[in-house]
């Protein structure tokens, strides 16, 4: 399951795509997918007069775009310049370049305004173009500018949503992104700077809360009871040493992700400038009054059968998962970079 769609747009009048782009972005937003556009304006420079050099430049821009992005969808206009302009090109030339050099399977929406006959002639022009240049069967969707283009883009993305929202895909995103959050938190709590930011009074407050949590763990019979009990009965320095001197690969077995997040939350809450970030961390593990938290969803999707999950697995749940993963990933990255 994807958090974002990146769409490549190739046109000689990029602004003419403003309306369908906004329409598609709004549609993807309904399921929590952010839409990003990479625009390539196919237009010669003021001093550019060699058609082959011009075409080579545009192909270079396309290659660079693919080198820096993974595109989920590609949009290409048929008429890239006036028909009587020697510097004008047809979109099928760039489709062929993309299929031969960049990607064989990403869907391409090939559209036209039907110039010069108008919209009624658009699809027949496109059909001729792909047939005459051996592009049939290359995952190309034909459309005409206007409402049909908007509708076709939504239809393609709706099918993409349905594939992405299958349970195994959702599980994959959840495990990947929550593991990343946990890994960043581990990096933060094993570094000394987050601990050194507190004065004596704040250290005492943090230790009191964490000590209580550790003693509860002892009562529940957690692994490494003697070590945990000793730290719970010690002081802030003992707690800090445990987190910063233990090798991270060993700490993950001694202090589970819930405890690591709890410790980080309390460290942040005693720093006025960062207390809000501690509250966000709390929401990662503790559901809001009328909602569910992402850690519970992660555990449910990891340990419950498809039959049990299907009742709550829907577009709304997928949107919630995407939105929450963004919030918590952004939060821990900001904490780490502070």
Same domain? For 87 and 26 the reply is yes
Residues 6+ apart with CB under 8 A from 98: 62, 66, 74, 108
Name the token pair of 270.
């005693």
pLDDT at 124: 83
Same domain? For 138 and 172 the reply is no
- Residue 224 to residue 250: CA distance in whole angstroms: 12
- Residue 58 to residue 71: CA distance in whole angstroms: 17
Same domain? For 180 and 305 the reply is yes
pLDDT at 131: 87
Same domain? For 200 and 275 the reply is yes
Name the token pair of 12.
């000689």
The CATH number assigned to the domain holding 76 equals: 3.40.50.2300
**C-alpha R_g of the chain:** 27
Same domain? For 61 and 186 the reply is no
CB of 322 within 8 A of CB of 31? Answer: yes
pLDDT at 80: 86
Of the three residues 107, 138, 164, the one that is the final residue of a domain is: 164
Same domain? For 231 and 117 the reply is no
Domain of residue 244, residue span: 167-337
pLDDT at 222: 58
Same domain? For 66 and 77 the reply is yes
Same domain? For 178 and 265 the reply is yes
What's this model's pTM, rounded to 2 decimal places? Answer: 0.85
Same domain? For 157 and 171 the reply is no
Of the three residues 106, 139, 164, the one that is the final residue of a domain is: 164
Same domain? For 76 and 219 the reply is no
pLDDT at 288: 65
pLDDT block averages, 10 residues each, the chain of length 338: 96 94 97 97 85 90 95 93 69 91 91 67 83 85 91 96 94 94 95 92 94 81 69 92 92 88 93 87 78 89 90 91 95 92
pLDDT at 117: 54
- Name beta bridge partners: 34: 4
pLDDT at 304: 92
CB pairs under 8 A, 24+ apart, for 43-49?
Answer: 43/12, 43/81, 44/87, 48/87, 49/87
Name the token pair of 16.
């003419």
- Name beta bridge partners: 198: none
Same domain? For 146 and 174 the reply is no
pLDDT at 118: 55
Same domain? For 191 and 153 the reply is no
Decide: helix, strand or coil at residue 169: helix
Count how many Cα atoms sit within 13 Å of the Cα of residue 30 in the half-sphere of its side chain. Answer: 11
Q: What is the dihedral of CA 81, 85, 86, 87, to 10 degrees?
A: -30
Measured distance between the N- and C-terminal CA atoms of the chain, rounded to whole angstroms: 30
User: For the chain, how many structural domains are there in total?
Assistant: 2
Per the listing, tokens 């490549």 go with 8
- Residue 39 to residue 26: CA distance in whole angstroms: 18
Of the three residues 103, 131, 164, the one that is the final residue of a domain is: 164
CB of 55 within 8 A of CB of 87? Answer: no
- Residue 331 to residue 336: CA distance in whole angstroms: 9
- Residue 1 to residue 6: CA distance in whole angstroms: 14
What angle (nearest 5°) sits at the alpha carbon of residue 307, between those of residues 305 and 311?
A: 115
Decide: helix, strand or coil at residue 288: coil
């Amino acid at each position: 399951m994807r958090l974002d769609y990146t769409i490549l747009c190739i046109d000689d009048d990029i602004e003419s795509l403003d309306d369908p782009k906004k329409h598609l972005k709004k549609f993807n937003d309904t399921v929590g997918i952010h839409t990003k556009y990479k625009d390539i304006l196919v237009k010669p420079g003021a001093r550019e007069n060699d058609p082959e050099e011009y075409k080579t430049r545009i192909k270079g821009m396309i290659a660079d775009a693919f080198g820096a992005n993974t595109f989920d969808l590609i949009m290409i206009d048929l008429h890239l310049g006036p028909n009587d302009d020697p510097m004008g090109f047809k979109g099928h030339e760039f489709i062929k370049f993309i299929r031969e050099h960049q990607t064989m399977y990403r869907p391409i929406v090939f559209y036209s305004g039907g110039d010069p006959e108008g919209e009624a002639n658009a699809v027949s022009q496109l059909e001729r173009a792909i047939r005459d240049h051996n592009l049939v069967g290359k995952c190309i969707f034909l459309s005409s500018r206007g409402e049909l283009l908007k509708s076709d883009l939504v239809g393609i993305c709706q099918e993409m949503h349905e594939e992405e929202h299958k349970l195994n895909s959702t599980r994959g995103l959840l495990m990947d992104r929550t593991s990343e959050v946990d890994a960043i938190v581990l990096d933060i709590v094993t570094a000394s700077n987050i601990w050194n930011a507190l004065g004596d009074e704040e250290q005492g407050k943090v230790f009191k809360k964490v000590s209580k949590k550790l003693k509860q763990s002892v009562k529940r019979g957690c692994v490494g009871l003697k070590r945990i009990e000793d730290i719970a009965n010690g002081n802030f320095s003992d707690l800090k040493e445990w987190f910063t001197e233990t090798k991270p690969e060993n700490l993950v077995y001694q202090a589970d992700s819930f405890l690591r997040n709890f410790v980080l939350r309390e460290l942040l809450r005693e720093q006025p400038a960062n207390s809000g970030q501690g509250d966000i961390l709390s929401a990662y593990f503790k559901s809001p009054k009328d909602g569910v938290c992402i850690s519970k969803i992660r555990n449910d999707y990891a340990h419950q059968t498809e039959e049990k999950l299907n009742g709550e697995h829907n577009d709304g749940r997928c949107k919630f998962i995407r939105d929450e993963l963004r919030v918590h990933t952004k939060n821990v990255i900001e904490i780490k970079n502070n």
